[in-house]
Amino acid sequence: SQWGEENLQALSIQEGEDVTMNCSYKTYTTVVQWYRQKSGKGPAQLILIRSNEREKRSGRLRATLDTSSQSSSLSITGTLATDTAVYFCATEGTGGYKVVFGSGTRLLVSP
Amino acid sequence: EAAVTQSPRSKVAVTGGKVTLSCHQTNNHDYMYWYRQDTGHGLRLIHYSYVADSTEKGDIPDGYKASRPSQENFSLILELASLSQTAVYFCASSAARGPNERLFFGHGTKLSVL
């Protein structure tokens, strides 16, 4: 597997708190995508970050990518109950031609 | 907004039976994918296609066939369904291939094999 973490992780926080989710990967990549999957729905892309960006922001979201440590993070500031979802990072698969997903982080934001 | 629709939304199948999952996209995308999601895990690529009448194997193709009769339609076929194929299946499309490409997913098909 290209991922360091294989089991779904879970976080439970209160609305208004900030949260950071991490993922680590084993194979080299130049880009990481973050997806969110709400209950009963398919994943939807939140943000894409390339290796030359190190940090990227979109609204309340902030993604980082550190290719030297082969890790990426997604932070959400001022969480809302509607942020409750599973968050996946995704990166290059073998051969560089496909997207491969990590196991995800289940985030529960309580009102 | 890009649209990928899957049918059925859920299905119960018997072991050894044939199952066909369908996917239709209106994005005018060349690439389509079938992923499998097991409870508590990420998505794994089963098959993909970049042009009509051609399919390619993904990471876990065993026990599955795929069919791409047109640019808009992509099917996943389980000729002999097994208990281990109980999962949620997602179809996705993208404009091009590669890790930079945004994938647009359908709502998923929950398959239970009994």
pLDDT tens-digit series, residues A86-110: 999 998 877 666 788 888 999 999 9
A75/B23 Cα distance (integer angstroms)? 33
Please tell me what DSSP assigns to residue A95.
G
Give the number of A-B residue pairs with CB atoms closer than 8 Å: 68
Partners of residue A41 in chain B, C-beta under 8 Å: 107-108
Interface contact flag, A90 B99, Cβ < 8 Å = yes
User: Percent of chain B beyond pLDDT 70?
Assistant: 98
Judged by DSSP in three states, A99 sits in: strand
* Closest by CA position to B110, among listed B81, B78, B85, B87: B87
Structure tokens at B30: 């060349």
Question: Mind telling me how many Å the CA of A94 is from chain B's nearest CA?
Answer: 10
Per-residue model confidence (pLDDT) at position A12: 96
A6/A102 Cα distance (integer angstroms)? 7
B33/B72 Cα distance (integer angstroms)? 12
Residue B27 clears pLDDT 60, i.e. is over it:
yes
Q: What is the mean pLDDT of residues A58-84?
A: 95
Q: Which amino acid is at A63?
A: A
Chain B contact present for A29, CB below 8 A: yes
Per-residue model confidence (pLDDT) at position A1: 43
CB A92 within 8 A of CB B99: yes
Structure tokens at A33: 């995508």
Residue listed under structure tokens 């808009």: B72
Minimal Cα distance from A7: which residue of B?
Answer: B41
Residue A83 clears pLDDT 90, i.e. is over it:
yes
Minimal Cα distance from A104: which residue of B?
Answer: B42
Question: Mind telling me how many Å the CA of B83 is from chain A's nearest CA?
Answer: 22
Interface contact flag, A41 B107, Cβ < 8 Å = yes
Minimal Cα distance from B46: which residue of A?
Answer: A100
Residue A68 clears pLDDT 80, i.e. is over it:
yes
Residue A76 clears pLDDT 70, i.e. is over it:
yes
Per-residue model confidence (pLDDT) at position A9: 84
pLDDT digits (tens, 9 = 90+) for A27-46: 778 899 999 999 999 999 99
CB B43 within 8 A of CB B36: yes
Q: What is the mean pLDDT of residues B58-70?
A: 96
